[in-house]
Amino acid sequence: MFQSVVSAPPDPILGLTDAFKADPRADKINLGVGVYQDEAGRTPVLPAVVEASRRVVERSDTKNYLPIPGDPAYGLAVQQLAWGEGHEVVESGRAATSHTPGGTGALRVVGDFLHQNLPSTTLWLTTPTWANHPAIFAAAGVPTKTFPYFDPQANALDLPAMLAAIKKMPAGDAILLHGCCHNPTGIDPTADQWKQIADAVYAAGVLPVLDFAYQGFGDGLSEDAAGLREFTRPSAELVACSSYSKNFGLYRERVGAATFVAGDAGRCAVVQSQVKRAIRANYSNPPAFGAALVTTILGDPKLRKQWEGELAEMRGRINGMRKLLVDKLAEHRAPGDFGFIAHQRGMFSFSGLTEPQVAKLKSEHAIYMVGSGRMNVAGVTPANVDRLCAAVAQVLGA
């Protein structure tokens, strides 16, 4: 039977990590997968997480199954973090949160839900988008199409083209937007642009799904939720997919959430019954440990304050590296104006490098980034920035 199976290509993002690990060159630089690294190039366990782990282990008294949507205390913490304590959505009961294995798990649950309950729905994706988005929805059997998002000439949001495309989307379709820190471009709508986008989406009768994987990596926890809050209009339906891989550094614990917001609490209960059915047929119920860490941190004011400080430090380091990159690219006479890097938000910079230039950086300089030219700014350090910028200048023909 297995004779007929053909090899799959390596994953465009996680496959880079494998290639990087296998590279024997000592001065290699990894700007591929979206994982935070400190100045020394390490991805440490956040001290707030270390303390929460101690407490969770200490009070752990069972390994019994969790409910299908996970611990209700976690669900409440997810909603309060995303929308803010006391928000109408949190208080009204018209939102139901399920703990999923990471943000990817949340997206897959949404895909299964759409496929099983709204089978004629097409999901619209930004051009470009996270390389795994099309694969997740294809695996769930949800058809996808794309719409314009990014203007590479201006290095900015192409709002007119985006709004024109949304206007033409058929009612009953769904649109996947990045809640903040757009992956891969680092370009987010402003508050006014979010309003125009939400107006257009709701006028078209399209269901918004927000992939919210980087809350706190842009401008701050509350600031980064501006788009989500704009979409949360009275009685409006939407879905939010949260991930705590990045902002809590819990990558391998797989901690995420899918929150379905319905028009009222009654509809929400019906929708959630179908979400639970989708989860049960997929992974049955979620793993407990990572979510317990998040619930513990968010539920203790002192630990939460500490975590917010640690998140601010990660955000500050990345934004500092953005400025340093701009300065160093100029110092190394890289052709062009790279000022846009400082304005992009989140972990990534869409550098404008072409696929052949990215390939050359890898083969000649042991510098790894995603083929689209996406660079993980968190992989840049004061120790490697000169070598990186000199190599970029060289492949650009300086």
Q: Which of the following is catalytic: 211, 307, 328, 362? A: 211
* Of 236, 231, 265, 249, nearest in space to 37 by CA: 249
* Of 42, 39, 30, 37, nearest in space to 381 by CA: 39
Q: Which of the following is catalytic: 188, 246, 328, 362? A: 246
Closer CB to ligand LMR, 106 or 262, in the complex: 106
187 touches 218 (CB < 8 A)? no
Instruction: Give me the helices (H) in 157-214, please.
Output: 159-168, 191-204
Closer CB to ligand LMR, 116 or 132, in the complex: 132
* Of 251, 241, 193, 186, nearest in space to 217 by CA: 186
Q: Which of the following is catalytic: 124, 130, 194, 307? A: 130
* Of 369, 140, 146, 355, nearest in space to 258 by CA: 140
In the window 166-205, what residues touch ligand LMR (CB under 6 A)? 183
- Relative orientation angle of helices 385-395 and 301-331, to the nearest 10 degrees: 50
Burial of residue 255 (number of CB atoms within 10 Å: 0-12, 13-18, 19+):
buried
Closer CB to ligand LMR, 48 or 107, in the complex: 107
241 touches 256 (CB < 8 A)? yes
Closer CB to ligand LMR, 75 or 379, in the complex: 379
- Give the nearest distance from C-beta 348 to ligand LMR in angstroms: 8
Burial of residue 262 (number of CB atoms within 10 Å: 0-12, 13-18, 19+):
buried
232 forms part of the interface with ligand LMR (CB under 6 A): no
Give me the residue label for tokens 């926890």: 221
**Which residues 6+ apart lie within 8 Å of 255 measured at CB?**
99, 101, 102, 243, 244, 245, 248, 290, 291, 293, 294
- Give the nearest distance from C-beta 231 to ligand LMR in angstroms: 22
Binding ligand LMR (rule: CB under 6 A), the pick from 130, 137, 217, 307 is 130
13 forms part of the interface with ligand LMR (CB under 6 A): yes
Residues contacting ligand LMR: total by CB under 6 A: 6
132 forms part of the interface with ligand LMR (CB under 6 A): yes
- Give the nearest distance from C-beta 132 to ligand LMR in angstroms: 5
377 forms part of the interface with ligand LMR (CB under 6 A): no
Binding ligand LMR (rule: CB under 6 A), the pick from 29, 31, 33, 201 is 33
239 touches 107 (CB < 8 A)? no
- Give the nearest distance from C-beta 90 to ligand LMR in angstroms: 27
17 forms part of the interface with ligand LMR (CB under 6 A): no
Closer CB to ligand LMR, 33 or 162, in the complex: 33
Residue 130 annotated in active site: yes
- List residues with catalytic annotation: 130, 211, 246
Site of interaction with ligand LMR (CB under 6 A): 13, 33-34, 130, 132, 183
